[in-house]
Amino acid sequence: MKKIILLLSLIAIFVGCGKKEAAENNVLRIGASPSPHAEILNLIKDDLAKEGIQLEIVEFTDYVTPNLALNDGEIDANFFQHLPYLEAFSKDRELDLSSVGGVFVSPLSLFSDRIKDLKNLQDGAVIAIPNDPSNGGRALIILEKTGLIKLDPKAGLKATVLDITENPKKLNFKEIDAAQLPRSLQDVDCAFINGNYALDAGIDPVKDAILREGKDSPYANIVAVKTENKDNKKVEALMKALHSEKVKNFIIDKYKGIIAPTF
Tens-place pLDDT, residues 205-223: 889 999 998 777 778 999 9
Q: Where are the alpha helices (DSSP H) in 193-244?
A: 195-200, 233-242
Cβ contact 174:129 at 8 Å: yes
What's the CATH number for 109-212?
3.40.190.10
Q: What is the mean pLDDT of residues 88-105?
A: 96
Q: Where are the alpha helices (DSSP H) in 50-185?
A: 65-71, 83-93, 133-144, 181-184
Domain 2-106+219-261 has CATH 3.40.190.10: yes
| Residue pLDDT, tens place only, 136-194 | 999 999 999 999 999 999 998 889 999 999 999 999 999 999 999 999 999 999 999 98
Q: Rounded to a whole number, what is the largest CA-CA distance in the chain?
A: 93
Question: Where is average pLDDT lowest: 8-22, 202-216, 246-260?
Answer: 8-22
CA contacts within 13 A on the Cβ side of 244: 17
**Distance between CA 74 and CA 225 in Å, rounded?**
12
Contacts of 220 (CB under 8 A, 6+ apart): 82, 83, 102, 103, 104, 105, 262
Output the pTM of the full model.
Answer: 0.72
In the chain, CATH 3.40.190.10 covers 2-106+219-261, 109-212
